[in-house]
Amino acid sequence: MFSKACEYAIRAAIYIASESQSGRRSSLKDIAREIDSPEAFTAKTLQKLSRSGVVVSTKGAHGGFHILPEQLPKIKVSQIVLAIDGDKVYTRCSLGLHDCSEDHPCPFHSRFKPVRSDLRQIIENTSLGDLTSGLVSGDTFLKI
């Protein structure tokens, strides 16, 4: 459903959020290592997240990426998805057919429509705080 870039962006945001809750900023190298992503790719992803206001980038000796802890409940997964993939997850057909529509449905259209609707509800109502709490408590894990 999400692009590989979007999956990495969600993982990066969760990692940064968990480090931020502990009062730490995360370096590009640390983030790339933790989410198992090439540094150059991670840098481009983080640039998009920074431009969209999901993460804060600070330069200098004590710089890095962070998220203000009070923002964690406010930042929804949908903001990350929109920053990286745009609205394709809401509009694109499950088979990737560009001409699929209500008037011209693909074979999966009617079956995939409720899934897409459920996914929208989930990502619009799930915050980084929701995802980070399990990571901080040790109930969930980030590395695959």
Q: What's the CATH code of the domain at 35?
A: 1.10.10.10
Percent pLDDT > 90 in the chain is: 61
Question: In terms of residue numbers, what domain contains 65?
Answer: 4-84+127-137
Per-residue pLDDT, 144: 45
Give a yes or no: residue 120 inside a domain.
no
pLDDT band at 98 (very low <50, low <70, confident <90, very high): low
Indicate whether 112 pLDDT > 90.
no
Q: What is the CA radius of gyration of the chain?
A: 17
Contacts for 128 with CB less than 8 Å, ≥ 6 apart:
13, 14, 17, 54, 67, 71, 72, 73, 75, 76, 77
Tell me whether residue 46 is in a domain: yes
Give pTM, 2 decimals.
Answer: 0.87
In-domain check, residue 66: yes
Q: Identify the pLDDT of residue 61.
A: 82
Residue scoring higher pLDDT (12 or 109): 12
For residue 78, the SS3 value is helix
User: Is 63 among the domain residues?
Assistant: yes
- Give domain status of residue 110, yes or no: no
Query: Would 133 be classed as within a structural domain?
Result: yes
Query: Does some domain include residue 28?
Result: yes
Nearest to 128 by CA among 86, 68, 83, 84: 68
Q: Tell whether 37 is covered by a domain.
A: yes
Report the number of distinct structural domains present in the chain: 1
> What does the pLDDT look like over 60-81, one tens digit per residue?
888 899 999 999 999 999 999 9
For the chain, the average pLDDT equals: 88
Average pLDDT over residues 26-47: 95
Contact 73, 21 (CB under 8 A): no
Best CA proximity match to 129, nearest among 56, 68, 75: 75
Backbone angles phi, psi at 70, to 5 degrees: -70, -15
pLDDT at 121 over 70: yes
pLDDT in tens, 41-50: 999 999 999 9
